[in-house]
Amino acid sequence: MRTYLVTGGAGFIGSNYIHYMFKKYDNEIRIINVDALTYAGNLENLRDVEKRDNYTFIRADICDKEAIGKIFAENDIDRVVHFAAESHVDRSIREPEVFVKTNVLGTAVMLNCAKAAWEKPNGSFQEGKKFLHVSTDEVYGSLENEGEYFYETTPYAPHSPYSASKASSDMLVRAYMDTYKFPANITNCSNNYGPFQFPEKLIPLIINNALQGKKLPVYGDGKNVRDWLYVEDHAKAIDMVQEQGRLFETYNIGGHNEKQNIEIINIIIETLQEMLADDDPRKALVNKDLITYVEDRKGHDRRYAIAPDKIKAEIGWEPETMFKEGIRRTIAWFFEHEEWMKNVTSGSYQEYYNKMYNV
């Protein structure tokens, strides 16, 4: 039975990846989920799998080399899927040191522990071992012109402390691949959305606020463009890269769903109005008058757009979920999990939200 070590598996993308893997492989694999359970890590995301015999949760910080080393020593790890990261740009602007520690030092610890566990006396590595580092399109910076796209060869030009820390972690992985021939891949993905997403991110924030008749904050003029990828499509891509990707290669994972932020908000409002029953009192609350423009984010990149040509040509992956279908599935999930949303939007999160958006 192949054993996967998933870091950050209680977070948004990590938990969706774990669900996808059990749905695909069932009892053919074992998953060890390592998560520090910071504000965005939520074990409620994994209630459906927590009692499986082939699933183990370990609370540990990826910066703790003793804890991570112990996991490798006590388990024959075949695959590492490294999601764990601080990922919210606004938080990185306020607390950049936290992002450098988790994203750079944490990645170095993971690489060193995997290398120590997998390396043979002659400096080569055990057959079948593989490390996948999950990164972001934000490392490439911002695109100024229509028709331009991020490719795997695009020079890095990060603009926020978050993207700079992710670029640094990417460079560490590249260094290990180049120096040691360490068996790894890097994936750089566009913005994800879907179930279990923490509601400081745009899509769940807008869904939650709209249903409560609260203001819908929009940075600047709302015309910043992002490429949106449904999270299950991303999970499938990661699995395919693990199994079919060439060692030492980087693969861009994009959704072919470029939209301005204001477009996203308008689509969510229109979709909520379509999906809410006429006798649901929330329907009267959802309207475009809630849109509130706020001061733009510092260093706000104007446009991201990924060209996933390489992953399609080499591996055969392409996004399956177009945005209007994905947003309906996402909203339906939030309707069915209102208690989950209530639990994650209480207390300290609410204080942070008020401070961040001044609304």
Provide the pLDDT for residue 350.
53
Q: Please check whether residue 301 is in contact with residue 138, taking contact to mean a CB–CB distance below 8 angstroms.
A: yes
Sign of torsion over alpha carbons 220, 225, 231, 237: negative
Distance separating alpha carbons of residues 312 and 337, to the nearest angstrom = 34
Rounded CA Rg of the chain: 20
Q: What is the DSSP letter of 290?
A: G
Task: Tell me the domain boundaries of the chain.
Answer: 2-193+230-256+302-320
Q: What is the full per-residue pLDDT of the chain (359 aa) written as tens digits?
A: 999 999 999 999 999 999 999 999 999 999 999 999 887 788 989 999 999 999 999 999 999 999 999 999 999 999 999 999 998 788 899 999 999 999 999 999 999 999 999 999 999 999 999 999 999 999 999 998 778 999 999 999 999 999 999 999 999 999 999 999 999 999 999 999 999 998 888 999 999 999 999 999 999 999 999 999 999 999 999 999 999 999 999 999 998 889 999 999 999 999 999 999 999 999 999 999 999 999 888 877 789 899 999 999 999 999 999 999 999 999 999 999 988 888 887 755 456 556 655 65
Q: Residue 323 carries which side chain, given as an amino acid letter? A: F
The contacts of residue 83 (CB under 8 Å, 6+ apart) are: 6, 7, 8, 9, 11, 13, 14, 17, 134
Distance separating alpha carbons of residues 60 and 233, to the nearest angstrom = 28
Neighbours of 342 (CB within 10 A): 10
Q: Please check whether residue 240 is in contact with residue 315, taking contact to mean a CB–CB distance below 8 angstroms.
A: yes
Q: Residue for token digits 């060890």? A: 32
Full-model pTM: 0.93
Distance separating alpha carbons of residues 23 and 2, to the nearest angstrom = 15
Residue 31: strand pairing partners: 4, 55
Distance separating alpha carbons of residues 15 and 313, to the nearest angstrom = 28
Residue 32's φ and ψ, nearest 5 degrees, are -110, 120
- From 107, 46, 33, select the one nearest 77 (Cα to Cα): 33
Give how far the C-alpha of residue 354 lies from the chain's centroid of Cα atoms, to the nearest Å.
24
The CATH class given to the 2-193+230-256+302-320 domain equals: alpha beta
Distance separating alpha carbons of residues 308 and 256, to the nearest angstrom = 9
Q: Is 337 helix (H, G, I), strand (E, B) or coil?
A: coil
Distance separating alpha carbons of residues 306 and 140, to the nearest angstrom = 10
Encode burial over 223-233: b for 16+ CB neighbours within 10 A, e otherwise: ebbbbbbbbbb
H or E segment at 251? Answer: strand 250-253
Distance separating alpha carbons of residues 240 and 32, to the nearest angstrom = 19
Q: Is 320 helix (H, G, I), strand (E, B) or coil?
A: coil
Provide the pLDDT for residue 356.
55
Tally of helices (H runs) and strands (E runs) in the chain: 13, 12
Q: Residue for token digits 């989920």? A: 33
- Enumerate the active-site residues: 137-138, 162
Distance separating alpha carbons of residues 86 and 91, to the nearest angstrom = 9
Lay out the sheet containing 225-230: strands in order across: 191-193, 225-230, 258-260
Give how far the C-alpha of residue 127 lies from the chain's centroid of Cα atoms, to the nearest Å.
28
Provide the pLDDT for residue 315.
98
Distance separating alpha carbons of residues 286 and 282, to the nearest angstrom = 7
Provide the pLDDT for residue 349.
47
